[in-house]
């Protein structure tokens, strides 16, 4: 899987849409020559414009230490084809091993932040931490300063996984089990039934 | 769809697993005789035991007013078969209409909290707000005090949607588009390659 030629900018004001469906994420971080990578299921959008995200990062992790020291992190969405690595970086400890080397992870340098980003993902957010008291709950708030996605599966502000199912995003459950993102469907909002005081009088 | 006979308790210490895969949620609330219901894509677990969740609820909404006043809310997962209603309660205003009546939503009373819960969902959390400064970012932190799920799709702490695809959870994208939760798959963590200083000496 090589996504290097497929990374395409996503308009910042619409970029949280990439994360709206609740896929698992991977956080990359770097400070003072030391880098790390961990998966994070608990990440979601917080605001549209400027785009913000919130990620739960345990205070005991190396990632947390690097993120607090540098004030930046990379947040990326792995595809089904990258699930094995997603589990691996989520179940190993960056204090003990260099996970990038150990799991043979290809990286490129962030555009706005000095952090390694994972080449074999399908969407990327470069994030700047918004210092906040919520960190005592392990909630890391951040503004997204750059966003891009793999044009094979995301374009015109829409995901389209049909042609490349191996590039679908995924959703972590527990114990090594994931769900792939399933088929899209569209619904129309039901017009409300006419009831109570808002009923037109006959 | 009638889930009334299928609601089965989920162990609190494991209940955040219901939400781990990032499905869209619906928030129900009630205070002083007034009730409301809205959908919320931005909801995620925050801690395992005691189980906590965090939900983004805009400060301008009726739901937020009711949740802050009562200190409790219901959080539930709609199935694919309930997506139309999920969109409807997310795109209408509880100040203007009684959404329960307008969209013909069946409810039952929470066990631990005095809030209507939606009968036609597949998993339910009864939540008590943890008052916190993070509310200024619209982040509502809460402890889960009761959790249960539809036994047709969740048992032994696992989702199993195979037999009843219409009861799969769903993930909201934008503009009335959802993804159904896709097929499950399992991976084994890659053992790290032997590298650098942790390499055994030959």
3-state secondary structure chain A: CCCHHHEEECCHHHHHHHHCCCCCEEEEEEECCEEEEEEECCEEEEECCCCEEEEECCCCCHHHHHHHHHCEEEEEEEEHHHHHHHHHHHCCCCCCCCHHHHCCCCEEECCCCCCEEECCEEEEEEEEECCCHHHHHCEEEEEEEEEEEECCCEECCEECCCCCHHHCEEEEEECCEEEEEEEEEECCCCCCCCCHHHCCCC
Q: Shortest CB distance from B176 goes to which of A84, A96, A189?
A: A189
How do beta strands B107-109 and B116-118 pair? Answer: antiparallel
In A, residues 145-164, which contact B (CB 8 Å cutoff)?
157-159
Low-confidence ranges of chain B (pLDDT < 50): 195-202
Mean pLDDT of all residues in A63-67: 97
User: pLDDT tens for residues B28-62?
Assistant: 999 999 999 999 999 999 999 999 999 999 999 99
Is there a contact between A173 and B20 if contact means CB atoms under 8 Å apart?
A: yes
Domains in chain A, start-ordered, CATH in brackets? 8-184 (2.30.110.10)
Query: What ipTM does this complex have?
Result: 0.91
The structure tokens listed for A154 are: 């995301």
Q: Shortest CB distance from B195 goes to which of A46, A102, A134?
A: A102
The structure tokens listed for B55 are: 């939900």
Query: In this structure, which long-range contacts are made by residues B99-108, counting pairs with CB atoms below 8 Å and at least 24 apart in sequence?
Result: B99/A192, B99/B36, B99/B37, B99/B38, B100/B35, B100/B37, B101/A193, B101/A195, B101/A196, B102/A192, B102/A193, B102/A195, B103/A190, B103/A192, B103/A193, B104/A193, B105/B37, B107/B28, B108/B4
Please give the mean pLDDT across all residues of chain A.
Answer: 92
- The pLDDT score that the predictor gives to residue A188 is 87
> Is residue A2 predicted with pLDDT exceeding 90?
no
Is there a contact between B173 and A20 if contact means CB atoms under 8 Å apart?
A: yes
User: pLDDT tens for residues A35-45?
Assistant: 999 999 999 99
> Is residue A171 predicted with pLDDT exceeding 50?
yes
Is there a contact between B183 and A186 if contact means CB atoms under 8 Å apart?
A: no
- The pLDDT score that the predictor gives to residue B197 is 41
| B103 close to A (CB below 8 A) | yes
- The pLDDT score that the predictor gives to residue A111 is 95
In this prediction, residue A194 has a pLDDT band, given cuts at 50, 70 and 90, of: low
Find residue A30's DSSP bridge partners. Answer: A35
> Is residue A189 predicted with pLDDT exceeding 90?
no
- The pLDDT score that the predictor gives to residue B147 is 95
| B186 close to A (CB below 8 A) | yes
- What residues in B contact A198, CB-CB < 8 Å? 96-97
Q: How far apart are CA A102 and CA A131, in angstroms?
A: 32
Nearest CA in chain A to B195: A102
Q: How far apart are CA B72 and CA B138, in angstroms?
A: 15
């Amino acid at each position: 899987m090589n996504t290097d030629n497929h990374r395409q900018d996503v308009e910042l004001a619409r970029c949280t849409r990439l994360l709206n469906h609740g896929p698992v994420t991977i956080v990359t971080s770097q400070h003072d020559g030391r880098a790390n990578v961990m998966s994070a299921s608990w990440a979601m959008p917080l605001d549209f414009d400027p785009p913000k995200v919130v990620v739960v990062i345990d205070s005991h992790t190396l990632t947390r230490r690097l993120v607090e020291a540098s004030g930046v992190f990379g947040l990326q969405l792995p595809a089904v084809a990258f699930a094995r690595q997603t589990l691996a970086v989520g179940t190993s400890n960056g204090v003990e091993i260099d996970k990038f080397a150990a799991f043979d992870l290809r990286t490129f340098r962030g555009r706005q932040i000095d952090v390694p980003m994972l080449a074999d993902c399908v969407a990327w957010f470069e994030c700047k931490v918004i210092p906040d008291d919520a960190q005592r709950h392990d909630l890391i708030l951040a503004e997204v300063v750059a966003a891009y996605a793999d044009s094979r599966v995301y374009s015109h502000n829409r995901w389209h996984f049909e042609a490349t199912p191996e590039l679908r995003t995924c959703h972590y459950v527990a114990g090594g089990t994931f769900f792939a993102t399933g088929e899209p469907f569209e619904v129309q909002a039901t017009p409300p039934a006419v009831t109570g005081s808002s009923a037109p009088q006959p």
